[in-house]
Structure 1
Amino acid sequence: MTSEEKNWKSDGVRIIPGDSLDQNTPQSPGMTRAAAINHARVGAQKIWAGTVRIEPNAKTGPHHHGSLESVIYVIRGRARMRWGEHLEYTAEAGPGDFIYIPPYVPHQEINALTQDPLECVIVRSDQEAVVVNLDIEAVEKPEAVAWIDPIHRSN
């Protein structure tokens, strides 16, 4: 189909109102995921995007997303991320921070605040709604890891 044959009105830009997200998506204990962008809703072929909300002082169950890469953007609250075979590593992110989760990494999201919900936007590298919930015995004191990328190292 050429661009002249496309109906840009129906096949162009889509606006998904924030109050019409779809919670009919795989969930992990402790969080509520809602899809905004996927194939069923807008015809997306290569990405999935949505929101996640974690109540105050709550945490998700350990899980991973198979071969998918995930990006989390923190809107409100304080995200404490734990990851590793025994969730032995931890780091925190706040509003405006991005979190990258590589494929197959066991992880757990924790709302580090006791009064306010944690609200984030999530983007994944594929349409497949992969959530593999894990039964992991977590270590008691995880090792803190600073958020430092290879391009912008701290002094």
Structure 2
Amino acid sequence: MHDIGDDHHDHDAHADHDRDLRSEAQDHDRWKHDGVRVIPGDRLDPNTAQTPGMFRQAAINAARVGAQKIWAGTVAIAPDAKTGVHHHGALESVIYIVSGRARMRWGERLEYVAEAGPGDFIFVPPFVPHQEINASTDEPLNCVLVRSDNEAVVVNLPDVEPVEPPETVLWVDPIHKHP
């Protein structure tokens, strides 16, 4: 036998369930209106963390398109500019070189270095101390940057004393063979 309170509870549970189903259906159909998004290259958002000598613009992030697990944008690096030593926590980063010459230094004391040019990709694993450098003293470096999360994680490492000069580590992959 049910008392009045039990009947009321059952009605609330059914109403909540119906509401959940409607919400689920709306989320499922959301792609029809909010599916593929094209972000024109001349409409990127400069409202991002900036570093002197670097100009970052967001194309894909939570605020612009609702991205939950990825950030993508561009970075223009002035001639001879470089970042301080830092890492990006648990994030993975990919840098695609559009034009110019990139130099990356990494390691506990930045003891490793590699360069990349137009058409090359750079992968930066989680927690790797590194420094991005425009290898040219007179040409800008233009890149596309993709990170594995929407949060802008930057952990600056001001106490790192770089080794000079850094050891050269060549890019070795199917395209760039070891000499």
- Do both share a fold (TM > 0.5)? yes
Aligned length: 154
What residue in structure 2 maps to residue 126 of structure 1?
149
Cα distance in 2 for partners of 1:50, 1:16 equals 10
* Distance verdict in 2 for CA 1:145–1:7, change over 3 Å: closer
Does structure 1 residue 148 correspond to structure 2 residue 172? yes
2:66 to 40, 43, 56: 43
- Across the aligned residues of Structure 1 and Structure 2, the Cα RMSD in angstroms comes to 2.1
Quick check: 1:30–1:61 contact (8 Å CA) kept in 2? Answer: no
- SS state of the match for residue 33, structure 1? strand
| Structure whose residues are more often helix by fraction | 2
Corresponding letter in the other structure for 2:74: T
2:90 counterpart letter in structure 1: S
Cα distance between partner residues in 2 of 1:30 and 1:109 = 11
What TM-score do you get using the length of structure 2 for normalisation?
0.78
SS in structure 2 at match of 1:27: coil
Asked which structure has the greater RCO (Cα within 8 Å, sep 6+), the reply is: 1
SS state of the match for residue 49, structure 1? strand
Amino acid in structure 2 at the alignment position of 1:139: V
Q: What corresponds to 2:3 in structure 1?
A: none
Q: Structure 2 regions of 5+ residues with no counterpart?
A: 1-23
For the pair 1:139 / 2:159, whether they are aligned, the reply is: no
CA contact (8 A) 2:77 2:141 kept: yes
Alignment of 1:106-125 (within 5 A): 106-125=129-148
Alignment of 1:63-142 (within 5 A): 63-135=86-158, 136-142=160-166
Give the share of equivalent positions with the same residue, in percent: 70
What does the per-residue CA deviation read over 1:43-98, in whole Å, with 9 as the maximum and x for residues that have no partner?
11111101111101111111111100000000000001000111111000000000
2:28 & 2:66 partners in 1: Cα distance? 19
Q: 1: distance between equivalents of 2:177 and 2:137?
A: 31
Measured after TM superposition, the shift of residue 104 of structure 1 is 0.6
Match of 1:13 in 2: 36
Structure with higher Rg: it is 2
Gaps of 5+ in 1: none
Asked if the contact 2:46/2:58 (under 8 Å) is kept, the reply is yes
Say if 1:63 and 1:27 are closer, same or farther in 2 by CA, change over 3 A: farther
Q: Is the 8 A contact 1:28 1:131 kept in 2?
A: no
What amino acid is aligned across from residue 62 of structure 1 in structure 2?
A: V
Q: TM-score, normalization: structure 1?
A: 0.89
